[in-house]
Amino acid sequence: GAVVSQHPSRVICKSGTSVKIECRSLDFQATTMFWYRQFPKQSLMLMATSNEGSKATYEQGVEKDKFLINHASLTLSTLTVTSAHPEDSSFYICSAHRQGPGELFFGEGSRLTVL
Amino acid sequence: AQTVTQSQPEMSVQEAETVTLSCTYDTSENNYYLFWYKQPPSRQMILVIRQEAYKQQNATENRFSVNFQKAAKSFSLKISDSQLGDTAMYFCAFMKGRAGNNRKLIWGLGTSLAVNP
């Protein structure tokens, strides 16, 4: 099956710093990638849809200046949490869409802890 | 707007037995996909099974099968011969079937399944 790699899997940072999370489709081109946030024992909350070569589409209530998304190539999307605060601590998951019906693949997730 | 409802927050089953997880959804679309995803403690989201709405035949993947009732908008997951490794959160999800790049998934809240030895 298709592989989506997410890095880093765990990151701890100080409050006020920025953190970048990468999402790579390793064996297919992904014109669309999605970024989710997941709180413990809850479902996935879609943050934004990332389209290659264009601006990301953010869901209502998600601060686009806080969560910067860049999809510079067909295999890479990045999520940068700027000026991180403890309330940004969460599990972040990306998924990538491969051409074809219903073809979505997920990264392993990234656990962000802001001290 | 589409919604997905999983009415069972938690379930448990004895090893080797069968368990059914329920999922209902609401949509006015005629062409769509339905999914069951498994999220074990590792947090990696794993696709369990996928169903295309235009297919009447229920999807099956080894011990996992679905009961897709389109008119009733119901999409339950049956796990046969449950194994300890099936312990996980299970999410039901919906995706519109129209062509295009917007392939958003609409998620249920999940069912936490515990398989007991």
Which of A41, A46, A105 is nearest residue B104 as measured by Cβ atoms?
Answer: A46
pLDDT computed for residue B101 by the predictor:
46
Contact A43 B110 (CB under 8 A): yes
Over the stretch B98-112, which tens digit does the pLDDT of each residue have? 655 467 899 999 999
3-class state of residue A87 by DSSP: helix
> CA nearest A92: which of A15, A7, A4?
A7
Between CA B103 and CA A32 the distance in angstroms is: 8
Contacts of A105 in chain B (CB under 8 A): 47
3-class state of residue B86 by DSSP: helix
With a cut of 80, say whether residue B66 has pLDDT above it.
yes
First to last CA, chain B: 41
Which of A11-20, A94-103, B27-36, B52-61 has the highest mean predicted lDDT (pLDDT)? A11-20
* Residue pointed to by tokens 């099974």: B49
Average of per-residue pLDDT across B16-27: 97
Average of per-residue pLDDT across B50-73: 94
Report the share of chain B in percent with pLDDT over 90: 80
Which of A43, A46, A91 is nearest residue B109 as measured by Cβ atoms?
Answer: A43
Between CA A40 and CA B89 the distance in angstroms is: 11
Residues of B near A (CB-CB distance < 8 A)? 33, 35, 42-47, 50, 52, 89, 91, 95, 97, 101-105, 107-110, 112
Å between B112 CA and nearest CA of chain A: 9
Going from the C-alpha of B74 to that of each of A13, A36, B33, B94, B99, the distances in angstroms are 44, 25, 12, 11, 24
3-class state of residue A85 by DSSP: coil
Residues of A near B (CB-CB distance < 8 A)? 31-32, 34, 38, 41-44, 46, 49, 51, 91, 93, 95, 97, 101-102, 104-106, 108-109, 111
Tens digit of pLDDT at every position of chain A (115 positions): 678 999 999 999 999 999 999 999 998 888 889 999 999 889 999 999 988 888 899 999 999 999 999 988 889 999 999 999 999 999 999 999 887 666 789 999 999 999 9
Average of per-residue pLDDT across B47-61: 93
B79: exposed, middle or buried (Cβ count in 10 Å: 0-12, 13-18, 19+) = buried
pLDDT computed for residue B98 by the predictor:
67
> CA nearest B21: which of B79, B63, B61, B60?
B79
Å between B53 CA and nearest CA of chain A: 11
Average of per-residue pLDDT across B14-30: 96
CA angle A100–A103–A108, rounded 5-degree value: 150
Going from the C-alpha of A58 to that of each of A36, A63, B3, B14, B34, the distances in angstroms are 11, 8, 19, 42, 23
pLDDT computed for residue A2 by the predictor:
73
Between CA A57 and CA A36 the distance in angstroms is: 13
Average of per-residue pLDDT across B55-84: 96
With a cut of 80, say whether residue B91 has pLDDT above it.
yes
Contacts of B112 in chain A (CB under 8 A): 41
Radius of gyration of chain A (CA): 13
